[in-house]
Structure 1
Amino acid sequence: MKSALFTGAAVTLGLFLASIGPAQASPVSPEGTPSSTASHQPTPQARQHGIDKAGDAYMGWTQNTTTKAAPAVMAPDATVEGIDVSSHQGNVNWASYWSAGKKFAYVKATEGNYYTNPYFAQQYNGSYNVGMIRGSYHFATPNDSSGANQATYFLAHGGGWSKDGKTLPGALDIEYNPYGATCYGLSAASMVAWIRDFANTYKARTGRDVPIYTNLDWWSTCTGNSTAFNSTNPLWVAKYASSPGTLPGGWPFHTIWQYTSSPVDSNRFNGDMSRLTALANG
């Protein structure tokens, strides 16, 4: 932790914190002009899940009450436990989660091209400081702007990656639309193209393939169960049951499994700590 590598990471972190500015970033459209969030009115279903305004979306927002969580299958010495958080968790007591055996965390950084998590610094840095391997995620709204635009926004507001053994590649959260049409008004082909645009932009900037968070139902409905990413991008599957079940998109295996939201979104990495570190290092 006190190596030259850590020192370099600290300098990078300092530059990042200086650059993120106000917690709520100004919206930016693909053309670089401010965009309005007035159209992002949560659906009645989204409001039932605690999404009251633009920016409130979070990983698995439809999962936490539409599906009952069941005890997850344990695989001793072959998995690593972690959590994901957003602004809904506020300031997190990271020491307590570390003591409870959570060794990695993903933190929501951005949504669309109009929102940044006001608790991001506390959550992202706090998880790192207790020893966790941590990463950030972006909640996609493909009807707002291009995949390249949102990847760029994500990268500018906490979505970057550094090879320090403690930072996971940024993840793309692509799932049900809390503000309107399930598939954001896009055809399956257009959705696949949007995801590819995001993934290609992120990789061009970081050298990393972005993990994709989704679930079987949404992926099948909105991408036609596309197999375009199953050999390049790690799968983070949401399935609140006793096993991950049938995987979307022809992925041969999952990398992370989100298996419950009680009492907080809980995830299991499909490998031991050495493999999680390998994912962090790229």
Structure 2
Amino acid sequence: MKKINCNLAMLCAFTMLMLSMNLPAYAEDSSSVDSSVSSKMDSTQSTTEPSSSVVDSIEQSTDTSLSDTTEVESESSTTQSSVSEAVEAVQADETIYFDDYALPSGRSDSTPTARSSNLLRSSMDIVYAGEANRPKSHFIDISSHNSSISVANFKKMKNYGIKGVVIKLTEGDYYTNPFAQEQIKNATAAGLKVSAYHYAQYTTSSGATKEANYFASLATRFKLPKSTIMVIDIEEGKMLNSSLTPNTTAFVNALKSKGFSNPMYYMNRSYATSGYFSVSKFGAKKMWVAQYPYTPTAAMKWNNEYSAWQWSSQYYIPGIAHPFDISMDYSGYLENGAQGRWLSENQYVTITKKNYSVWSNFNFNSTTNSTTNIYNKTFKVNGKYKHMNGETYYSLYDNKGNWKGYLNAAATTKAPGPQGIWLSENKYVTLTKKGQTLWGDINKFSSKKGNTTTLYQKTFQVKGKYHHVSGAIYYSLYDNKGTWKGYINAAGVTSAQGPQGAWMSENKYVTLTKKGQTLWGDINKFSSKKGNTTTLYQKTFQVKGKYHHVSGAIYYSLYDNKGTWKGYINAAGVTSAKGPQGAWLKINKPVTIERKGYTIWANIDTFSHKKGNTTGIYKKKYQAQGQYHHFSGATYYSLYDKNGTWKGYLNSNATK
């Protein structure tokens, strides 16, 4: 049998008391003072066994000296049988008392029992809501012993700072709290966070599975969301053995198979540290531990290595007759939900993983977006939650303060500021908008590096980018020598396929006025040659487009008079013309008119003005002071007479 340490005088007095009194069984009256001594989660005692608070009461009426304490153990002798029975009756209550605290356990609803609590816990402080110098009061737990609780009374609790209530649903695989549905409804209506608990009886894995299924079925019947915290109340002594961890694992697996993925574990301090329950496996931050100091004070932070601490069963709320079990919530799970407590944050993150949902609530049944759609975008994080599933969720806001939803932090990377994170990039862009600033800083926009007006149409290499919280993308620009030029808003550039830059439409004519220049078929890698200006010297072509290469050179895209593309030419090797006549090319040579019927033109751009005809000047001599190699392929001389008077433009085919 079990052993307890007790004062000898107390033991004798208790024995006499047991012989002279009868403790009949009776149901708890929620309006009586007796009902004020609630057990952890609504348990009751055997009709043949007095509550252990009897010991406390007797201790107060006897000599409290510790010098005469002795260990009393049950033996088979007749002379000690009455004492042994008395000790066993005290032990049957399963509440263990120490010098400065008590540990509740073994309080089942299996059978209606006497609750002689008035006699029991007189050494434990009665605590009233609102008292100074008490531990924090975050949530309560209730069961059938608390019977009906109105919405108004739940609101009273809320007014005293209570945010959550854990409601007993089931016990074993047979018992249901008859008040559970009403308690859930009224607590929810009052704005309290509702969690549920099951008083466990299992001693085998199959039994655990059966109890879990029973618990889940009632939670479903009572329409509790799948995100509800489902507490396993472990306080039966028969469960405390090497099978506790595997049996509890079976319970949790069955619970999760029904969609309830947020299990939690309640037990007293001695159970939590017994070694039979694997704290490392189930997680200390999912454990709710009971330990009742006789005089709880605000300075106490007991069991803060766990998620929550139940610090008294003698908590009274003015206007409500019976007492409650009261707990401090270190994690915030049982006063807020499985997401835990809001933790203030002031930082920026960039979305760096796709296929994550952005949630509108922690029931995880409604989304606002997917990270696939907002990949690489940056958001402000004003707060976060450390969910009991082990994940951290950020509360995201855009630059206008609009809330965007909750996102698993695993899908993000923290940024040093509103610019977001550096994202590697390897591309080329051409500056195609004037008046854009090149910034040296895009966190506070406090430093300017230049302006696109002076760099208009130039091409740069982009080695990285930032998706700013403002929604703008900023490229980090480098010139062809690797010199950093600053950050530019992507809206002010045009992306290029390579270092040649972006195609820019052009409509002009040029004449090839330098020999030895290559016409390229490719100016990205300069891997293909189309010809050479030596063979095309002084010919005129139409330019339909151009590239401002990252090297600094401009390349024209040339077409002949039949629309055939001839290649890319460095603009340094050409002379721009005013029209299809080509560029003026100076010469000084005499020519004789050898053909009749040729027009002498005043304009060879549009051939819109005639100056005469060669028929009337046949065989006459003139001086050609200049020529044009027209886009059409013809060469036109600019003719002057012997007096230096300009006569017009004539096709060289009409002369010798």
What is the Cα deviation at residue 118 of structure 1? 0.5
1:257 aligns with 2:319: no
Cα 1:244–1:140 shift into 2, 3 Å: farther
Kindly provide the CA deviation profile for residues 169-192 of structure 1, in whole angstroms up to 9, marking residues without a partner as x. Answer: 1110001x3xxxx224x6x22111
Deviations 1:240-260 (A, max 9, x none): 13445357xxxxx32222111
Indicate conservation of the 8 Å contact 2:203/2:244, yes or no. Answer: no
1:98 aligns to what?
158
Structure with the higher helix share, 1 or 2 = 1
**1:189 and 2:259 correspond:** no
What does residue 178 of structure 2 align with?
118
Amino acid in structure 1 at the alignment position of 2:215: F
Looking at structure 2, the residues matched to 172 and 109 of structure 1 have their Cα atoms a distance apart, in angstroms, of: 11
Counterpart residue number, 2:144: 87
1:171 and 2:227 correspond:
no
> What amino acid is aligned across from residue 124 of structure 2 in structure 1?
K
Which of 274, 278, 281 is residue 226 of structure 1 equivalent to?
Answer: 278
C-alpha separation in 2, matches of 1:230 and 1:67: 34
Change (3 A) 1:125 1:118: same
CA shift, 1:65, in A, is 3.9
Match in the other structure for 2:135: 73
Q: CA RMSD in A?
A: 3.7
Q: Does 1:44 align with 2:49?
A: yes
> TM-score under structure 1 normalisation?
0.64
Asked if structure 2 preserves the Cα contact closer than 8 Å seen for 1:212 and 1:233, the reply is no
Q: What are the Cα deviations for residues 222-266 of structure 1, in whole angstroms up to 9, with x where unaligned?
A: x5353343438611111113445357xxxxx32222111112111
CA contact (8 A) 1:107 1:124 kept: yes
Task: Give the greater-gyration-radius structure (CA).
Answer: 2
In 2, distance between residues paired with 1:104 and 1:275? 4
Deviation of 1:151 after TM superposition, in Å, equals: 0.5
Report matched runs for 1:1-40 at 5 Å: none
Equivalent residue number for residue 245 of structure 1:
302
Kept after mapping to 2: 8 A contact 1:209/1:232:
no
Tell me, yes or no, if the aligned pair for 1:86 and 1:108 is still in contact at 8 Å.
yes
Which of 222, 225, 237 is the aligned partner of 1:162? Answer: 225
Pick one of 269, 279, 284 that aligns with 1:216: 269
Write out aligned runs for 1:121-140 (5 A): 121-140=181-200
How far does residue 116 in structure 1 lie from its aligned partner after superposition?
A: 0.1
Q: Is the 8 A contact 2:135 2:328 kept in 1?
A: no
Higher relative contact order (CA 8 A, sep 6+): 1
Name the aligned partner's letter for residue 193 of structure 2: I
Moved more, 112-121 or 258-267: 258-267
Q: CA separation in 1, counterparts of 2:238 and 2:123?
A: 20
Matched residue SS, 1:254: coil
CA offset at residue 152 of structure 1?
Answer: 0.3
Q: 2:110 maps to what in 1?
A: 54
Q: Structure 2: how far apart are the matches of 1:276 and 1:65?
A: 31
Alpha-carbon distance in 2 for matches of 1:86, 1:97: 16
Q: Does the Cα contact within 8 Å between 2:169 and 2:219 map onto a contact in 1? A: yes
Specify the SS of the correspondent of 2:324: coil
Number of residue pairs aligned between Structure 1 and Structure 2: 217
CA distance in 2 between counterparts of 1:273 and 1:230 reads: 15
When the two structures are superposed, what TM-score results if normalisation uses the length of structure 2? 0.29
Q: Is the 8 A contact 1:41 1:53 kept in 2?
A: no
Match of 2:251 in 1: 198
What is the Cα deviation at residue 66 of structure 1?
Answer: 9.8
Cα distance change, pair 261–41 in 1 and its aligned pair in 2 (3 A): closer
Contact 2:169/2:180, CA 8 A, preserved across alignment: yes
